Amino acid sequence: MSDLIAIAYDDTFKAEEVRLTLAKLQREHLIELEDAAVVVKDADGKVKLKQAINLTATGAASGGFWGLLIGTLFLVPLFGAAVGAATGALGGALTDIGVDDNFMRELGETLKPETSALFILVKKVTPDKVLDEVSKYGGTVLRTSLSKDDEEQLQAVLSSHGLKIPESEDS
């Protein structure tokens, strides 16, 4: 089972930096992520989601390939590729894996302007090595599915190495 962790940062770029750090750690097999997404609240108060995987583009590419292959069998390769790409893109757009987009938007609304948050679903982790890398960015734990003790320890590690941002007035 995966653990959900949502951490807020005091600027619009830090969550993306942490996501890139986690991607590097994943290549080193120190963490296994099911999903990682960044939410940014700009100066105007608009919330933007930045997914790690663009499912629409992935679906279109996959559908285009299979459509071309099947279309070739029936002697209409271009039509098959076009239909395959369209249905793949539609399927990708309708598929939602990982952290729920609505949950991320709702929590993103509670952020202060010009801040960001990182949402991750962690399957497996080597805690000491990963925490050493991400603790230098600081952050405030917004929500987790961790136990209360584990959540408090995570916040303590983040607070000791970085600046803790104040909670929103909406919270």
pLDDT in the model for residue 164: 45
Q: How far is residue 84's CA from residue 68's CA, in Å, rounded to a whole number?
A: 7
pLDDT in the model for residue 161: 64
pLDDT in the model for residue 50: 80
Check: CATH 3.30.70.260 for 3-52+99-161? yes
Three-state SS for the chain is: CCEEEEEEECCCCHHHHHHHHHHHHHHCCCEEEEEEEEEEECCCCCEEEEECCCHHHHHHHHHHHHHHHHHHHCCCHHHHHHHHHHHHHHHHHHCCCCCCHHHHHHHHHCCCCCEEEEEEEEEEECHHHHHHHHHHHCCEEEEECCCHHHHHHHHHHHHHHCCCCCCCCCC
Sketch the domain layout of the chain as residue ranges. Answer: 3-52+99-161, 55-94
pLDDT in the model for residue 166: 46
pLDDT in the model for residue 85: 66
Mean pLDDT by 10 residues, the chain (171 residues): 86 91 91 88 87 56 65 69 65 58 83 91 86 88 84 84 48 42
User: Where does residue 149 rank: exposed (0-12), middle (13-18), buried (19+ CB within 10 A)?
Assistant: exposed
Q: Are 50 and 38 in contact (CB under 8 A)?
A: yes
pLDDT in the model for residue 41: 92
pLDDT in the model for residue 67: 66
